[in-house]
Chain A
Amino acid sequence: MKKTLFDKVWDSHVVHKIENGPDVLFIDRHMVHEVTSPVAFLGIKSRGIPVMYPERTFATADHNTPTINQHLPVKDPLSANQLKALEENSKAHGISYWGLGHEKNGIVHVVGPEYGITQPGATIVCGDSHTSTHGAFGAIAFGIGTSEVEMVLATQCIMQQKAKSMRINVNGKLGRGVTSKDVALYVISKLSTSGATGYFVEYAGDVFRNMTMEGRMTVCNLSIEMGARGGMIAPDEKTFEYIKGREFTPVGAAWDTAMEYWETLKTDEGATFDKEITFDATDIEPMITYGTNPGMGIGISNGIPMAEAVEGGVATYKKSLQYMAFNEGDNMIGKPIDFVFLGSCTNGRIEDFRAFASIVKGRKKADNVTAWLVPGSHKVESAIKEEGILDILHEAGFELREPGCSACLAMNDDKVPAGKYAVSTSNRNFEGRQGPGSRTLLASPLVAAAAAVTGKVTDPRELMQELV
């Protein structure tokens, strides 16, 4: 029988099938962070059971950490307590722990790939919906709730029904200034924030083949924003090249064995999907969102759609625009903004900083803009310094902060004030996501950079160097 990539990885991890019920799925690698794990650890404690395979779980602190003065004690007592709980739980159960200040610390979905924890054909879960990021390597990776975190700690398995399959093809060549983030926001705008609910997505076509691994991570990261359980891309030479030599990547004979498996990880010719959609790369321009869910995105040169033209509830749509203080038909270009956030598991990697720097180089940060530039990990931070990007940022009037999730979900002090607009490279523009009353415009690092130096929504193509 012809199988999809998703079928191959899923089916090879089913320990047990329950009739008219879920599959018991074995989890190869489990990542935990401070926010969604403490109640799970309490759970196994109250049951009096150990962590079954501590070597398969990796802990990092990221959601609830400050992005300045990380060498000092964390001021917020609740946050400090949560971080302490992660450290104590990790140590008590023999789980590797990359806490605040550790050289390998960073956002869970940034450090996983950086250290080779993320591998093709693996099942990877974490109590965080953006776990879909790891699908860029041909892994089945998805977010779980705390009850499921407890299941994985206790038994290395979860119980879930297999999702339906969807393939999204994007073919052709992307235009200038159009990035992986724009591709993802475009697809989400076409499918809506619930268009892929119940599905596991495979991304295929030239556009994804030609993307870097980091670009693929951005795309897979955003799968959840159209409701998909996860997204994945078949591994290829680029994938193998990326993971080779990383700390948790197999070596020697183990590498050869792994490669034999990894090279089978592609959808069979003739395999069918429950749903298949195809887009043309040339239809995509730099994207920006105008509303309060990631499906509310448009090409940057377009106007905000009229309520009648939108599928779904008009009342919900109008409530959303009211929150944003935008009007139907408004142009996005030229709208004044107050904050810029570069970072998160979506766009907190070195290529994102390179893109941002390419625009701000030789320019100055606009006076009306507060900018938070937050690397996804210490490794990213080091690269920013080594590549001279930090100097470019400093000359343009920007500061670099320390790694963490930061203003993406604003659990720490990096909160956008009520009523203020932030152009953000993160993943969610929900009401209050970046601070109570905050208004978020999701965009790529290029669009964020253009906004940071002009103080308003600006088409980055106007600021890009002409290609020689």
Chain B
Amino acid sequence: MAYDKFNILKTTAVPLPIENVDTDQIIPARFLKATERKGFGDNLFRDWRYNPDNSPKKDFVLNDPTYSGKILVGAKNFGSGSSREHAAWAVYDYGFRCVVSSFFADIFKNNCLNIGVLPVQVSAPFLEKIYTAIEADPKTELVVNLPEQTITLSTTGESESFDINHYKKDNMLNGFDDIDYLLNIKENIREFAQTTPL
């Protein structure tokens, strides 16, 4: 599915300094019943964000007007658990285009890359710097520069580079997805399939 191209993102960020955030928290299973990809942002972090009576939980960061922006700053082992791509959809649909963490769970990271959310892995000390800066001033902007593969704190100019493989980077910059690529080598696949019995 097509997504917006990603180039340079300059925005404030929402801090979520909790470790091992699993995809059941990002979107609980009972909201996976749709047959189309729409509206998942409404249920992003549903049970952390709302009380059972659907009133907002005031102390949860997404309900705090102090914080806003297109970057979600998670802590270590973000996105563990279920492979549900709905978690990445919910993040995107809510309005985030980038998730920062010191360590991502594998499947969630892949899912993000496939749908246009950029996972940016930073060192633990740099993650702390980001949290400290946002705590000091929630209007602190982060600059995520995909072509340069850098993330910068606009207040102090402190910067760190991040990894992304060349192929995925190119996809994100251009809004391509893997199926476009695979369909182009369909004949190779067909030949290969003949060598592997069902």
Chain B, 166-198, CB within 8 A of any chain A CB: 166-168, 177-179, 181-183, 185-186, 188-189, 192-193, 196-198
Contacts A21-B166, A22-B165, A254-B197 known; A436 to B19 CB distance under 8 Å? no
Across the interface, A18 reaches (CB within 8 A) one of B33, B167, B186, namely B167
Residue of B nearest to A14 (CB): B192
CA distance A418 to B28 in the complex (A): 14
CA distance A29 to B33 in the complex (A): 25
Q: Which residues of B contact A193 (CB under 8 A)?
A: 20, 77, 80
A147 close to B198 (CB less than 8 A): no
Across the interface, B103 reaches (CB within 8 A) one of A15, A154, A160, A197, namely A197
A82 within 8 A of B: yes
A227 close to B105 (CB less than 8 A): yes
A64 close to B193 (CB less than 8 A): no
Q: Which residues of B contact A428 (CB under 8 A)?
A: 22, 24, 81-82
Across the interface, B192 reaches (CB within 8 A) one of A26, A147, A229, namely A26
CA distance A82 to B29 in the complex (A): 14
Q: Which residues of A contact B77 (CB under 8 A)?
A: 193-194, 197, 227
B1 within 8 A of A: yes
A161 within 8 A of B: yes
Contacts A36-B83, A147-B85 known; A197 to B105 CB distance under 8 Å? yes
B37 close to A39 (CB less than 8 A): yes
The digit string for B74-96, where 1 denotes a CB below 8 A from any CB of A, is 01110011111110100000000
CA distance A26 to B179 in the complex (A): 14
B110 within 8 A of A: yes
Give the Cβ gap from A365 to chain B, nearest Cβ, in Å: 27
Most buried by B among A78, A79, A128, A159: A159
Give the Cβ gap from B25 to chain A, nearest Cβ, in Å: 6
Residue of B nearest to A122 (CB): B196
Give the Cβ gap from B42 to chain A, nearest Cβ, in Å: 15
Give the Cβ gap from B62 to chain A, nearest Cβ, in Å: 16
Q: Which residues of A contact B178 (CB under 8 A)?
A: 147-148, 151, 158-159
- How many CB-defined contacts (below 8 Å) exist between A and B? 203
Contacts A36-B83, A154-B182 known; A43 to B1 CB distance under 8 Å? yes
Contacts A21-B167, A151-B182, A194-B20 known; A160 to B110 CB distance under 8 Å? yes
A35 close to B103 (CB less than 8 A): no
B135 within 8 A of A: no
Which of A203-211, A311-319, A337-345 sits within the interface?
A311-319
CA distance A409 to B23 in the complex (A): 12
Across the interface, A194 reaches (CB within 8 A) one of B25, B80, B177, namely B80
B83 close to A129 (CB less than 8 A): yes
The digit string for A77-93, where 1 denotes a CB below 8 A from any CB of B, is 01101100100000000
A197 close to B24 (CB less than 8 A): no
A151 close to B166 (CB less than 8 A): no
B36 within 8 A of A: yes
B84 close to A36 (CB less than 8 A): yes
B182 close to A79 (CB less than 8 A): no
Q: How many chain A residues have a CB neighbour from B under 8 Å?
A: 80
CA distance A249 to B143 in the complex (A): 54
Residue of A nearest to B32 (CB): A35
The digit string for B138-176, where 1 denotes a CB below 8 A from any CB of A, is 000000000000000000000000000111100000000
B185 close to A15 (CB less than 8 A): yes
Contacts A159-B178, A194-B103, A319-B18 known; A128 to B83 CB distance under 8 Å? yes
CA distance A147 to B168 in the complex (A): 14
Contacts A56-B198, A151-B179 known; A161 to B193 CB distance under 8 Å? no
Q: Which residues of A contact B32 (CB under 8 A)?
A: 35-36, 63-64, 411
CA distance A18 to B86 in the complex (A): 28
A156 close to B189 (CB less than 8 A): yes
Chain B, 18-63, CB within 8 A of any chain A CB: 18-20, 22, 24-25, 28-30, 32-37, 47, 52
Residue of A nearest to B112 (CB): A145
Q: Which residues of B contact A312 (CB under 8 A)?
A: 19, 76
A293 close to B22 (CB less than 8 A): yes
The digit string for A318-335, where 1 denotes a CB below 8 A from any CB of B, is 010000000000000000
Q: Which residues of B contact A26 (CB under 8 A)?
A: 189, 192-193, 196
Q: Which residues of A contact B106 (CB under 8 A)?
A: 163, 197-198, 227, 229
A16 close to B105 (CB less than 8 A): no
A28 within 8 A of B: yes
CA distance A42 to B37 in the complex (A): 9
A38 within 8 A of B: yes
Which of A47-55, A262-270, A372-380, A396-404 sits within the interface?
A47-55
B9 within 8 A of A: no
CA distance A157 to B77 in the complex (A): 28
Contacts A157-B189, A436-B47 known; A21 to B182 CB distance under 8 Å? no
Across the interface, B35 reaches (CB within 8 A) one of A19, A38, A49, A151, namely A38
Residue of B nearest to A29 (CB): B198
Chain A, 157-205, CB within 8 A of any chain B CB: 157-161, 163, 193-194, 197-198
Name B residues whose Cβ lies closer than 8 Å to a Cβ of A.
1, 17-20, 22, 24-25, 28-30, 32-37, 47, 52, 75-77, 80-86, 88, 103-107, 110-111, 114-115, 165-168, 177-179, 181-183, 185-186, 188-189, 192-193, 196-198
Name A residues whose Cβ lies closer than 8 Å to a Cβ of B.
13, 15-16, 18-22, 24, 26, 28-29, 35-36, 38-39, 42-43, 47, 49, 52-53, 55-56, 63-64, 76, 78-79, 81-82, 85, 127-129, 143-148, 150-151, 154-161, 163, 193-194, 197-198, 224, 227, 229, 250, 254, 257-258, 293, 312-313, 315-316, 319, 409-411, 418, 428, 430-433, 436-437
5 extra interchain contacts, Cβ-Cβ under 8 A, other than A47-B179, A63-B32?
A: A39-B85, A159-B182, A293-B80, A316-B20, A319-B18
Which 8 interchain pairs have the tightest Cβ spacing?
A21-B167, A145-B85, A143-B83, A147-B114, A145-B111, A78-B33, A38-B35, A194-B77
